[in-house]
Homo-oligomer: A and B are copies of this chain.
Amino acid sequence: MARQEHRSGSTLPVTPPTLADVAERAGVSRQTVSNAVNNPDLLRPDTLERVRQTIAELGYSPNRAARNLRTRTSSLIGLRFAPAQEGTANAAMDRFVHSLVEASEEVGYHVLLFPGDDEDPVGGYDNLLRSTAVDAFVVTDTYLGNPQATWLSQQRAPFVAFGRPWDDDVARHVWVDVDGAAGIALATQHLIDRGHTRIAWIGWRKDSPIGEDRRSGWVRTMHANGLSTTGLASRVEDVVHSGAEAAAVLLDESAPTAFVCASDTLAMGVLHTLWIRQLAPGTDIAVVGFDDSQVAQVYPVGLTSVRQPLEDVAVEIVRTLRALLSHQPVETRGVLLEPTLAIRGSS
């Protein structure tokens, strides 16, 4: 059946060509065309060439829905997309999503976004899973008891988490994370190399395992260099003015010459206090933040900040996901990547 002989070159035909159209025109069977697309090495070179030629002529592209139905896959990766919280400097999601989109594309996957509801953290996942709309998930918000991860594990749904299962020892899922402690260690060592000895820490409340992990990088590095940490640490909320207050108190009580912060948001608070006190960041007092947010990049003198290798995280996640989906044994349960330090004027 020659469904449509005349296709104007530039405009999309009313109904796109199908595999059968290509087969007929190339004078081969459907299966051969399918093989040309999916298993090219099964064809004799000249046949392959001919089929490819026809595919190009017709502008054929396999119908996604039909392929999905038959193969029971979708080549889609689900990602719950939560926007950056207003009032914080954290824009890591933006960069991460982009990296994930790129890394997925490389291996023929696309990223499907769905909204998150904090009250029903599992709802979106459930729908997509049951309607077989996605092949797998990437779970990013693994900070609090990760109900998603637990639930997805129960459902035997393939997924990879960006973030360690901190508190959950029985969690047996696969994850990729950035070594925050190593990042802060890097920052601390950087400050020590610059001659600082009284380096203060401003981090998050104790109930944040991520915060405690980062803090440990500071403690470790200080001690390794024979420096004291007593009276130099503060744990506060992740908002600017808390950072500012903490910095003021620390300056008064312990006279540090440098600050390492668990986030760029807190670092902004420190910078504010320095500004009020007419202290120049970088020359009088050094400041280091975490996440290399736009704020860090745009702040006039520049804020030195720990930068997560989100591109690598995305690549690693996609790699793991592929292994998972092809039912290959996943060699390691977790992968920890090293961050870098973006050094700017504030240190």
Contact = CB atoms under 8 A, between A and B. Distances in A.
Contacts of A102: 115
Given A91-B294, A265-B298, A101 B81 contact: yes
A268 interface: yes
Interface residues of A, number: 68
B110 A113 contact: yes
A335 interface: no
A60 B127 CA distance: 10
A28 interface: no
Contacts of A293: 294
Interface stretch (A64-72, A162-170, A174-182, A323-331): A64-72
A130 B299 CA distance: 44
A127 B93 CA distance: 26
A36 interface: no
Contacts of A64: 68, 74, 131-133
A172 B127 CA distance: 37
Interface in A73-131: 74, 76, 81-84, 86-91, 93-95, 97-98, 101-102, 105, 110-115, 127, 129-131
B244 A12 contact: no
A38 interface: no
A293 B272 CA distance: 18
A12 B157 contact: yes
A131 B63 contact: yes
Contacts of A11: 154-156
A297 B59 CA distance: 49
Contact of A240 (B94, B265, B269, B298): B298
A311 to B, nearest CB: 10
B63 A300 contact: no
A300 B240 contact: yes
Given A83-B94, A275-B275, 4 more contacts: A83-B95, A101-B114, A113-B113, A295-B299
